[in-house]
């Protein structure tokens, strides 16, 4: 009953001084709304990055060559590149590349773990030409597993047939953006058409067998117009190797089965391929997955978001000081009330609790308003950034708890001061 009476008195005091109460809450409102908004935007960005990397295959393993450290020559390896001196760096040659025989043996050795191997051979960027129309493209040759590894689905046509791959055909899969430029968006007209491809200094003729939907990466920048946008064009891998005069690759991607222990399989993959590179004095095999990169990125983003939120939380401390200041003023104004209550027998604990509850009510109301305002601001910011809105439930609960703690911490001193007043001096106070 005493708690209810204290809450009622607190609301009566706030109603009597509405503007002062609002200004007192303002620091709490700004602090909590800032924290909630920042945490909401931070978690929205983290969720967007996680979904994007997940769609790229977070459990896929990338296998590549990295240079060995040569202690005798005093060379060093940095980020997979070995420097022999100023401006000098080794790059893999045809003799160092992964061969088809190696990849075949690898798949044979782990048939239940490997779903597909994705290999990509880049060509020089260029243009597709139909009469006077053009579409900028970045051509590359890909293996069957590329489409699975990159979750690339066609909106019309088909993937490459075994016959086209084995015969090094000039079949091509292009984007819907290229179809818009060349065929006014008519995919039926595009499928089966023979068009010119200029790639570097090579003039080629390709046959369109499939069309995929272009999706702009979140890492893309610039204001390139739809007409001049460059999109990927895919050819069979053997065709691209013929054009580049190569027979192997310096890296590839492994699509693993869903139940695979990725970290363990990364180690097994490195051990398997390093048996081929035991006598290669320049290069060795290095494997990694996006899951480890994603963990590091998520941790880093979480740390940054928390750090910024803590800085914004300084406003809560400022608001707490404001609460303490106003409570001291309130106690001074209500000195005769305190003296009267003590004169009729109110114990110190009752006086202390009255003003402590009042400080907590101020902070709690400010906290609720701050949560509502911060959630709205966070959702609006996430919408502007075109990211999924993810309100931070944990930060809402923590902020409300912290606002209550601020009320207790900064309200205790004024409440204790009121409780220790001498009733005779309080009744004499003018």
Sequence ranges of the domains in the chain: 2-52+297-428, 97-290
Residue with more model confidence, 260 or 125: 125
CA 307 to chain CA centroid, nearest Å: 16
pTM of the model: 0.59
At residue 327, does pLDDT exceed 90?
Answer: no
Residue with more model confidence, 280 or 387: 280
Average pLDDT of the residues in 386-396: 73
Question: What is the torsional sign of CA 242, 89, 290, 281?
Answer: positive
At residue 364, the pLDDT reads: 85
Helix (H, G, I), strand (E, B) or coil at 221: coil
Helix (H, G, I), strand (E, B) or coil at 154: strand
CB 253 within 8 A of CB 237: no
At residue 83, does pLDDT exceed 50?
Answer: no
Residue with more model confidence, 406 or 213: 213
The tokens for 50 are: 């996680």
Q: For the chain, count helices (H), then strands (E).
A: 15, 15
At residue 230, the pLDDT reads: 92
Residue with more model confidence, 179 or 338: 179
Task: Quote the longest CA-to-CA distance of the chain.
Answer: 106
At residue 80, the pLDDT reads: 46
At residue 183, does pLDDT exceed 70?
Answer: yes
């Amino acid at each position: 009953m005493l708690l209810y009476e204290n809450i009622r008195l607190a609301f009566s005091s706030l109603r009597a001084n509405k503007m002062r109460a609002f200004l007192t809450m303002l620091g709490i409102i700004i602090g909590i709304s800032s924290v909630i908004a920042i945490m909401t935007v931070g978690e929205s960005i983290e969720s967007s990055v996680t979904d994007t990397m997940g769609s790229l295959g977070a459990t896929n393993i990338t296998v590549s060559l990295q240079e060995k450290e040569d202690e005798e020559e005093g060379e060093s390896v940095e980020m997979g590149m070995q420097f022999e001196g100023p401006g000098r760096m080794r790059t893999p040659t045809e003799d160092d590349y992964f061969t088809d025989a190696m990849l075949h043996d690898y798949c044979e050795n782990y048939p239940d773990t490997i779903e597909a191997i994705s290999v990509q051979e880049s060509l020089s960027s260029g243009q597709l030409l139909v009469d006077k129309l053009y579409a900028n493209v970045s051509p590359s040759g890909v293996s069957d597993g590329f489409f699975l590894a990159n979750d690339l689905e066609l909106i019309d046509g088909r993937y490459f047939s075994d016959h086209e791959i084995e015969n090094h055909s000039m079949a091509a899969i292009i984007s819907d953006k290229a179809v818009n430029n060349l065929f006014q968006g008519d995919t039926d007209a595009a499928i089966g058409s023979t068009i010119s491809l200029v790639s570097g200094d090579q003039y080629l003729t390709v046959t369109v067998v499939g069309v995929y939907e272009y999706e702009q990466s979140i890492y893309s920048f610039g204001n390139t117009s739809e007409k001049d946008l460059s999109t990927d064009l895919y050819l069979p891998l053997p065709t691209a190797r013929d054009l580049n005069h190569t027979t192997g690759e310096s890296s590839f991607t492994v699509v693993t089965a869903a139940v695979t222990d990725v970290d363990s399989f990364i180690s097994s993959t490195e051990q398997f391929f390093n048996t081929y590179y035991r006598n290669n004095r320049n290069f060795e095999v290095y494997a990694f997955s996006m899951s480890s990169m994603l963990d590091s990125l998520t941790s880093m983003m979480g740390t940054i978001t928390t750090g910024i939120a803590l800085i914004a939380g300084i406003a809560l401390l400022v608001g707490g000081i404001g609460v303490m200041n106003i409570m001291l003023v309130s106690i001074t104004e209500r000195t005769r009330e305190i003296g009267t209550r003590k004169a009729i027998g109110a114990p110190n604990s009752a006086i202390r609790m009255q003003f402590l509850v009042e400080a907590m009510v101020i902070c709690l109301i400010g906290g609720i308003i701050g949560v509502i305002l911060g959630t709205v601001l966070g959702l609006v910011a996430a919408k502007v950034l075109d990211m999924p809105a993810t309100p931070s439930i944990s930060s809402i609960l923590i902020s409300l708890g912290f606002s209550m703690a601020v009320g207790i911490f900064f309200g205790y001193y004024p409440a204790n001061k009121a409780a220790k007043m001498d009733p005779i001096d309080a009744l004499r106070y003018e």
